[in-house]
Structure 1
Amino acid sequence: MVRNIKTRKGMIYGLLLATITYVGAEAADEGVLPVPSDRAVELAQSAIIVDGHVDFPSQLLESGVDPINNGGATNFDFDRAIRAGFNAPFMSIYVSSHFEETGGAKARADILIGVMEGLTQQYPDKFTISTSVKDVRKAAKAGKVSFAFGMENGSPIEGDLENLHHFYDRGVRYITLAHSKANHISDSSYDDDKRWGGLSPFGRVLVREMNELGVIVDVSHISDDAFFDVIEISKAPVIASHSGARHFTPGFERNMTDDMIKRLAENNGVIMINFGTHFLTKDGSGRRLGRDQAYVDYRAERGLSDTALVYSEFRKWFDINVEVPFAGVSDVVDHIDYVRDLVGIDHVGLGSDFDGVGDTLPTGLKDVSGLPVLIQEMIDRGYSDKEIRKVLGENALRVWSAVEKTANNN
């Protein structure tokens, strides 16, 4: 039964939840999503929800899904987002690491930006592009879903600072310096090849130029040494757009150690918690670490070399063929609790990785419609409305504002 929800927005959301079932391996067991309280629904609708990382642009380009209502083909669409109050995602301009080897990284990023620009032109009453904090707040008041752009992988910079300015002009407001392989900017947490011992010489120059221009530095995906290089260099706060606390996932370098989180907080930055099961639990990360050996076996059986393209194809194969021990909403909030207790509520946010982590999302958070369920879990743990609003988006907007101010003061 749907609870009696007093507000019109709450009633709409309650009816939506009563009809949506999970898409994925556990659909038969899970049934319908739980219905959050009136307070959770109101917070979702009134807050600005900034998600640090949503991979919908690649899905839109490659699959041509309906961006308004696609029946669960992706984790994001307009109807589910607007009903859940999901109004300010950073859309990932994701460029695979193999473009560093083959060329074409800049062109790929430009294509993805163009796809999202086209979407806002086709549906101007529903979507808009935000290039400033002011834009985000204005769009929220207008009831639109606001797209900010975060470039996942710095390969499109192609060693030329003019390209940084080009992408700033196209709306990119953060750059994840590397992805699954080391590139000309930084070492990667996923790559045993630590060719630079952190940032490359060009990477150090790039971080300074990003500060000057007003582009947020994203430390997700980069190696530990590269993270500490960034913290030493950056004059502005930085983000980890979609990471977790390594406390819960020992040995999983993609997540952040306590020391890294403390240094991030000293920088006034924010870690935005990834919803992927392998980021959340020891069992989930064990699956991810086991993937390393599976990758070796996969290549040996097929006689393939270790290239970024081969790794990308392997990832698709692995996610389809290897069972996932799903995390839950409570595991996401465990990470939020941990960061809050370690460095304070001002340094944690949300970076779902919707449409980027395959069928590894937690029970209760299989798509954007689950955000009020996450809010309910925080309410149940005693978070105040002010604290919840900080986690949902105000912390991320504070960092963005500080980056804007740093650039304006140069």
Structure 2
Amino acid sequence: MPAPTSSLIVGSFVLLLMGSGVSQAQPAASIEARADSLVQASLLVDGHVDLPYRLNDFYENPADSTVGGDVDYPRARAGGLDAPFMSIYIPPYLQSNPAAATNRADALIDLVEKIATDHPTEFALATSPNEVRQIATTEAVALPLGMENGAGLGGELDNVEHFYDRGIRYITLTHGAHNRLGDSSYDDAEPRWNGLSPFGEQVVAEMNRLGIMVDVSHVTDATALDAIEQSDAPVIASHSSCRHFTPGWERNVSDELIEGIADTGGVVMITFGSSFLRNAYRDRDAPIRDAMNAHIDSMGWAEDSREAVVYEQQTRREHPIGTVQDVADHIDHAVGLVGTEHVGLGSDFDGVFALPEGLQDASGYPALVAELLRRGYSDPAIQQILGANLLRVWTEVEATAERRSE
């Protein structure tokens, strides 16, 4: 177990804040049953799932059980997942070719549309909170879209509206490298803009005009603070955890940024990837991945072959890193800073290698809810975190766009 931290104090605060919650003496089986029922009864929105990029590399039918990855229809239904935001991910290597970056975004949107067209009972596209709510009354999983890396705009302001028309409802301003919009927390080079670029400021204003959420995951602190200042609408972090537990790692959000996002009315969506949970977990991840890749190479398997995908999945399942309690610690910390109304979930399923035990795929959400129940969270507070908060923010972003058009 990790050494005790201030999150334990925050957890005690949360227990008092949430009221009756659940008795610590309640049998584990009862808590787990209650968690499963609560997840199935709630509207669960996940801020970031990389299913499109995964299927672009190795296509499987997501309406059926798949051999790779973390999300498919059976696992989503088992975990109570109603609306995973499909990540339209633009790799940094495409940034030097704006047309290729834009084409990749369009191609991944085409792929998501094909999933919904080919499997209408299991999946449906969603472009508004009301559509998400309507789809949740059926057996289908809603598929809203978010662009990960504003490089997909190709440096053209008109493309913000193009991708709005194609269904994009948030844009993560950067990814792994500085781009034309702003600076990335992952880039080892000196900052290019020291925050948002002039073009990035134009993009944020255009996103506000159209009703696209501004996402500050992946950006530097300076870029995030500029986006918060520039945006007239609430801002989100679609898949970021708390830097409190990973000191010095700018990819996670600082306490100042958590509070700044909340001040806009926005939401910080806690991610599940092991590397986000504790700094030490990143050191444990690399040797496992290196040994796996060496075995794949020794067998002569192509990276996108079925044999390699199956072996990677087996390796990941056999080597969880971290626990559900780690994820709950991050939720506790954010809640202690800004309250339950500004916290959500952004798993990064299908986008990370290592995941914690109990949260290794989309069937695992009830395990996290059970841990929150053990910590004293009330049912309404959990429902806020599961999806109500993000839907509230999305609705306010729409309302901001409507006001600007008057």
Scaled by the length of structure 2, the TM-score of the pair is 0.82
Q: Distance in 2 between matches of 1:238 and 1:403?
A: 9
Q: Which residue of 2 aligns with 1:58?
A: 53
Q: Distance in 1 between matches of 2:319 and 2:114?
A: 35
Q: Which residue of 1 aligns with 2:233?
A: 236
Pair 36,94 (structure 1): closer, same or farther in 2 beyond 3 Å: farther
Q: State the one-letter code of the partner of 2:55.
A: L
Pair 37,207 (structure 1): closer, same or farther in 2 beyond 3 Å: same
> Among residues 120, 129, 132, which one is paired with 2:128 in the alignment?
132
Q: Distance in 2 between matches of 1:39 and 1:111?
A: 41
Instruction: Summarize deviations over 1:224-248 as a string: whole Å, max 9, x none.
Output: 1000100110000011000010000
Q: Distance in 1 between matches of 2:205 and 2:93?
A: 26
Q: Distance in 1 between matches of 2:282 and 2:114?
A: 37
Runs of 4+ in 1 over 3 A off after TM superposition: 285-288
Which stretches in structure 1 are left out of the alignment for 5+ residues?
1-33, 295-316
1:252 paired to 2:249: yes
Q: Distance in 2 between matches of 1:260 and 1:250?
A: 14
Of the structure 1 ranges 278-287 and 199-208, higher mean CA displacement relative to structure 2 is found in 278-287
Q: Which has the higher contact order (CA 8 A, sep 6+)?
A: 2
Of the structure 1 ranges 58-67 and 365-374, higher mean CA displacement relative to structure 2 is found in 58-67
Contact 1:69 1:80 in 2 (8 A): no
1:365 paired to 2:359: yes
Structural mapping, 1:7-86, within 5 Å: 37-86=32-81
Q: Which residue of 2 aligns with 1:109?
A: 105
Q: Which residue of 1 aligns with 2:171?
A: 175
Contact 1:278 1:287 in 2 (8 A): no
Q: Which residue of 1 aligns with 2:197?
A: 200
Q: Which residue of 1 aligns with 2:270?
A: 273
Contact 2:101 2:151 in 1 (8 A): yes
Q: State the one-letter code of the partner of 1:203.
A: G
Contact 2:320 2:357 in 1 (8 A): no
Scaled by the length of structure 1, the TM-score of the pair is 0.82
SS in 2 for 1:87: strand
SS in 1 for 2:238: strand
Q: Which residue of 1 aligns with 2:279?
A: 282
Of the structure 1 ranges 153-162 and 326-335, higher mean CA displacement relative to structure 2 is found in 153-162
Compute the displacement of 1:285 (Å).
4.5
Contact 2:241 2:276 in 1 (8 A): yes
Q: Distance in 2 between matches of 1:122 and 1:187?
A: 38
SS in 2 for 1:272: strand
Contact 1:284 1:325 in 2 (8 A): no
SS in 1 for 2:170: strand
Which stretches in structure 2 are left out of the alignment for 5+ residues?
1-28, 291-311
Compute the displacement of 1:143 (Å).
2.4
1:330 paired to 2:325: yes
Contact 1:244 1:272 in 2 (8 A): yes
Query: How big is the alpha-carbon RMSD for the aligned residues of Structure 1 and Structure 2?
Result: 2.0
Pair 158,339 (structure 1): closer, same or farther in 2 beyond 3 Å: same
Q: State the one-letter code of the partner of 1:154.
A: G
1:100 paired to 2:95: yes
Q: Distance in 2 between matches of 1:130 and 1:334?
A: 31
Compute the displacement of 1:160 (Å).
1.2
Contact 2:186 2:251 in 1 (8 A): yes
Q: Which residue of 2 aligns with 1:384?
A: 378
> Among residues 82, 87, 106, which one is paired with 1:87 in the alignment?
82
Q: Which residue of 1 aligns with 2:143?
A: 147
Say how many residue pairs are matched: 348
Pair 245,214 (structure 1): closer, same or farther in 2 beyond 3 Å: same
1:394 paired to 2:391: no
Q: State the one-letter code of the partner of 2:84.
A: P
Compute the displacement of 1:385 (Å).
0.3
Instruction: Summarize deviations over 1:109-135 as a string: whole Å, max 9, x none.
Output: 100000110111111111101100000
> Among residues 356, 368, 375, which one is paired with 2:369 in the alignment?
375
Residue identity over aligned pairs, in percent, reads 49
1:349 paired to 2:344: yes
Contact 1:126 1:145 in 2 (8 A): yes
